[in-house]
């Protein structure tokens, strides 16, 4: 593996999940692996879980960490080719990526979708700019279109809690007051396509995800029907993809409730808005896996960092 940019960079999801679960049993077992290696975390957006869990994973492996809030502690990057840089951008991605590559061994980047311009977001100019010009492995800590560390943590969580036999997983859209990106949903869908499971996506009409990603997936606009006999319900808001970044409605009837959930286990990537996305009863009840999903972020990051260290 050269980089960890999307869930497709995983060569065998079952093997990675198995290995992550072994690491979780003894997190410091490989703490000599990262000796004299440095991970740099560049945040173009805010973060809680990702910031702490990725650092923790590095510490488990004995990797030194340098963290930088790029926009607040640095300056604005230029991505255009041939641009006359006499406006707001102070440094070109070409220089920034080359230079940062010299100060660390692995580079992790968080850069969210702006949700104003679909083409620009899908170009992933920050993440792909670093991939293009850096000389070291890059880890995606959530980009415009993907959050593969989250999806890997979700896969670990599913493996820990799945029933022995059959498996039905539902991804259910939820209302939210703000326009949110598609990254978490995209990566979850991609990850589910690698699972031996029945998988249904449910959302109001107009909230279709990128069809290139959901291709082959079962989409059901009737939430009740979708939720029938579900083992796991993954709830997440996203803004419109076709009418890019728009919030059509915040229909409260789509909020996840204990009644709708039934016996299914509840998943969400967090942060979650209580009583908007999901009611308190669900989060405070025994079927919620959200805290364990967050815990598994450490081990998802750790398996990724371990694989990258081994390939250095």
Binding residue numbers for carbamoyl phosphate? 47-50, 75, 110, 147-150, 269-270, 297
Q: In terms of Cα–Cα distance, which of 82, 92, 86 is closest to 125? A: 92
If binding is defined by CB under 8 A, does position 267 make contact with a second copy? no
Structure tokens belonging to residue 145: 């279109």
Termini Cα distance of the chain? 10
Encoded one letter per residue, x for contact with a second copy by CB under 8 A and - for no contact, window 131-170 reads ----------------------------------------
Reduced to 3 states (helix: H, G, I; strand: E, B; else coil), residue 307 is helix
CA 251 to chain centre: 25
Distance CA 6, CA 194 (A): 13
Strand-pairing partners, residue 44, are none
If binding is defined by CB under 8 A, does position 183 make contact with a second copy? no
If binding is defined by CB under 8 A, does position 91 make contact with a second copy? yes
If binding is defined by CB under 8 A, does position 53 make contact with a second copy? yes
If binding is defined by CB under 8 A, does position 85 make contact with a second copy? yes
**Chain length of the chain:** 312
Shortest gap between Cβ of 8 and a second copy (angstroms)?
A: 27
If binding is defined by CB under 8 A, does position 22 make contact with a second copy? no
If binding is defined by CB under 8 A, does position 96 make contact with a second copy? yes
Q: Give the interface segment with a second copy, choosing from 89-97, 121-129, 151-159, 303-311 (CB under 8 A).
A: 89-97
Q: Which conformational region is residue 181 in: left (phi greater than 0), alpha (psi within -120 to 50 degrees), or beta?
A: beta
Sign of CA dihedral 274, 259, 288, 50: negative
Q: In terms of Cα–Cα distance, which of 203, 191, 276, 279 is closest to 241? A: 203
Q: Give the interface segment with a second copy, choosing from 39-47, 141-149, 166-174, 196-204 (CB under 8 A).
A: 39-47
If binding is defined by CB under 8 A, does position 274 make contact with a second copy? yes
Q: Which of 32, 87, 215, 253 binds a second copy (CB under 8 A)?
A: 87
State the SS3 of 229-273.
Answer: CCCEEEEECCCCCCCCCCCCCCCHHHCECHHHHCCCEEECCCCCC
Contact present, 115 and 121 (Cβ < 8 Å): yes
Q: Give the interface segment with a second copy, choosing from 42-50, 121-129, 141-149, 204-212 (CB under 8 A).
A: 42-50
Q: Which residue number, 179 or 270, has a Cβ lying nearer to a second copy?
A: 270
What Å distances lie between residue 191 and 110, 186, 197, 249, CA to CA? 20, 9, 11, 28
The distance between the two most distant Cα atoms of the chain, rounded to a whole number of Å, is 62
Annotated binding-site residue numbers: 47-50, 75, 110, 142, 147-150, 176, 236, 269-270, 273, 297
Residues contacting a second copy: total by CB under 8 A: 62
Return residues touching a second copy (CB under 8 A).
28, 31, 36, 38, 40, 43, 46-49, 51-53, 55-56, 59, 64, 66, 68-70, 72-75, 78, 82-87, 89-92, 94-96, 98-100, 102-104, 177, 250, 270-276, 280, 283-284, 290-291, 294-295, 298
């Amino acid at each position: 593996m050269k980089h960890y940019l999307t869930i497709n960079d995983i060569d065998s999801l079952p093997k990675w999940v198995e290995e992550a679960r072994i690491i979780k049993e003894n997190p410091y077992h490989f703490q000599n692996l990262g000796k004299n290696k440095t991970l740099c975390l560049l945040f173009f957006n805010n973060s809680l879980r990702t910031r702490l869990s990725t650092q923790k994973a590095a510490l488990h492996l004995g990797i030194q960490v340098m963290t930088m809030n790029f926009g607040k502690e640095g300056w604005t990057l230029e991505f255009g080719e041939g641009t006359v840089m006499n406006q707001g951008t102070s440094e070109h991605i070409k220089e920034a990526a080359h230079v940062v590559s010299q100060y660390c061994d692995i580079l992790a980047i968080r850069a969210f979708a702006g949700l104003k311009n679909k083409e620009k977001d899908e170009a992933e100019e920050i993440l792909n700019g670093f991939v293009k010009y850096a000389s070291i492995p890059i880890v995606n800590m959530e980009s415009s279109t993907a959050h593969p560390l989250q999806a890997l943590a979700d896969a670990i969580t599913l493996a820990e809690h799945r029933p022995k036999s059959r498996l039905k997983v539902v991804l259910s859209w939820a209302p939210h007051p703000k326009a949110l990106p598609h990254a978490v949903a995209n990566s979850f869908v991609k990850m589910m396509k690698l699972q031996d499971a029945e998988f249904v996506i449910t959302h109001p009409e107009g909230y279709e995800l990128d069809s290139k990603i959901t291709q082959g997936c079962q989409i059901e606009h009737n939430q009740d029907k979708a939720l029938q006999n579900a083992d796991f319900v993954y709830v997440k808001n996203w803004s419109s993809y076709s009418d890019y970044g728009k919030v059509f409605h915040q229909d409260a009837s789509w909020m996840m409730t204990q009644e709708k959930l039934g016996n299914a286990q509840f998943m969400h990537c967090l942060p979650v808005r209580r009583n908007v996305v999901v009611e308190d009863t669900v989060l405070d009840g025994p079927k919620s896996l959200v805290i364990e999903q967050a815990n598994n972020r450490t081990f998802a990051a750790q398996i990724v960092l371990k694989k990258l260290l081994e390939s250095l």
